[in-house]
Amino acid sequence: MMNRCPFFNLCGGCKFDFSDDDYRQNKIKLLPDIDFTDEPVWGMVGSRRRADFSFDNGRFGFYKKQSKDIVDINHCVNVVPEINDVLPKIAKIPWTGRGSVLITKCENGIDIVVNSDMPFFSADFKTAVDKLPANIIRFVWNDKIVRKYAEPEIKFNDKIINYPPNAFLQPTIETEQILRDLVVKYVDNAKRVADLFCGLGNFTYATHATGFDIVGNGIKRDLFKKPLNTTQLNQYDVVIMDPPRAGAEKQSKELTKSDVKRIIYVSCNPETFVRDKQILERGEYKMNVAIPVDQFVGSTHWEIFSVFEK
CATH of 50-154, one of 3.10.450.50, 3.40.50.1100, 2.40.50.1070, 3.40.50.970: 2.40.50.1070
Torsion of CA 257, 210, 192, 172, to 10 degrees: -90
**Of 17-26, 75-84, 190-199, 275-284, where does mean pLDDT reach its minimum?**
17-26
Q: Which of the four pLDDT bands, split at 50, 70 and 90, describes residue 3? A: low
What tens digit of pLDDT does each residue of 100-121 get? 999 999 999 999 999 998 888 9
Contacts of residue 57, defined as CB under 8 A and 6 or more positions apart, other chains included, come to: 70, 98
- Active-site residue list: 268
Beta pairing, strands 136-141 & 210-213: unpaired
Count of residues for the chain? 310
What tens digit of pLDDT does each residue of 283-298 get? 999 999 999 999 999 9
H or E stretch covering 304? strand 303-309
Residues of the chain with pLDDT > 70, as a percent, come to 99
User: Taking the domain 170-309, which CATH number applies?
Assistant: 3.40.50.150
H or E stretch covering 259? none
Q: What is the domain partition of the chain in residue ranges?
A: 50-154, 170-309
Q: Are both 50-154 and 170-309 of the same fold?
A: no
Beta pairing, strands 41-42 & 50-56: unpaired
Q: Is the pLDDT of residue 215 over 90?
A: no
Rounded to whole angstroms, the Cα distance separating 274 from 256 reads 15
Q: What is the separation, in whole angstroms, between the first and last Cα of the chain?
A: 43
pTM value? 0.93
pLDDT reported for residue 18: 86
* CA-wise closest residue to 86 among 115, 120, 119, 51: 51
Average pLDDT over residues 252-264: 98
Average pLDDT over residues 37-63: 94
pLDDT reported for residue 1: 44
The sign of the dihedral angle between the CA atoms of 55, 58, 60, 63 is negative
Q: What is the mean pLDDT of the chain?
A: 94
H or E stretch covering 150? none
Average pLDDT over residues 253-275: 97
Rounded to whole angstroms, the Cα distance separating 109 from 176 reads 19
